[in-house]
Structure 1
């Protein structure tokens, strides 16, 4: 019961933090708040759920969010957004660059494919920082039970 109440309280705190301030206001999420959000997300994930995303701080279209990966997703391209991320927990693999095979555009503008041909593979561990430019195919593999990222989507330069 305590776990459920804690999860509800954390979700409420995160909801207040994200989007609560006027535009141009500095947003701060303490290390304790980040750890609490990760713990709450892990507690609420279903056993068969492979991915969960939740905003942490926001400034208009720019959002820093926690991403919890328990299973690899599909290779993807964000045509209009660069992705900047820091590995918080766990380990994994990033494949980026190359060519997206069998691309399909989703309603949100993201493009997903079956695999990446000719990409570069890199191991990921806590503390690693990555920047994937807009339009670059990428895929996250999971080593162990999870990969937790603090990710930010940044609008591409025009």
Structure 2
């Protein structure tokens, strides 16, 4: 009986040390943490055209997650992402976002996304610098109006 207790204690101790030794270590070949500085973001904004929207400018990438900058000077079509949520952060400027409701003149753009000319029955909200907006998957959304210029960070969050 004493031998069994000693063997079990030794095994638990050995496993504890093995687990402890692995904690905090990145797997071999793991990428470094991507980062972007405020001055790099400012340079991206400065390079954005003033007469048309510049969408999908890659800021960061990690695996399937892409952080994009969208610089808008005018409204854009409505969208629904059927398999992912979308997080927006307003870097600069102001505009209006409409969420919910139903797409008008709905068209399939690919196997997981729909677009429309506008949204019927949605909720409008003014957004400005510093605001965060989380759009759940399957929810129509659109930024139909922009007050001068609007720069947002967009992160799609797949299921």
Q: TM-score, normalised by structure 1?
A: 0.76
**Deviation per residue, 1:90-111 (Å, 9 max, x gap):** 1100100111122110136320
The match for 2:86 is: 83
Alignment coverage as a number of residue pairs: 131
Gaps of 5+ in 1: 1-21
Displacement, 1:114?
2.4
Deviation beyond 4 Å, 4+ runs, structure 1 = none
CA distance in structure 2 between the partners assigned to 1:71 and 1:131 by the alignment: 21
Distance in 2 (CA, whole Å) between partners of 1:23 and 1:74 is 38
Partner of 2:103: 100
C-alpha separation in 1, matches of 2:50 and 2:38: 25
Give SS of 1:63's match. Answer: strand
Task: Give 1:111's aligned residue.
Answer: 114
2:11 matched residue in structure 1: none
- Which one of 131, 136, 140 corresponds to residue 133 of structure 1? 136
Say if 2:98 and 2:124, in contact at 8 Å, map to a contact too: yes
Question: SS state of the match for residue 41, structure 2?
Answer: helix
Deviations 1:12-40, CA, capped at 9 Å, x for gaps: xxxxxxxxxx6543111111111111112
- Report the Cα distance in structure 1 between the residues aligned to 2:55 and 2:98, rounded to whole angstroms: 20
1:34 and 2:34 correspond: no
The structure with the greater share of residues assigned to strand is 2
Greater CA radius of gyration, 1 or 2?
2
Structure 2 residue runs of 5 or longer lacking an equivalent are 1-28
Give CA-to-partner distance per residue, 1:125-152, whole Å, 9 cap, x none. 1000010011100000333221100111
Q: TM-score, normalised by structure 2?
A: 0.75
Aligned counterparts of 1:137 and 1:46: Cα–Cα separation in 2: 27
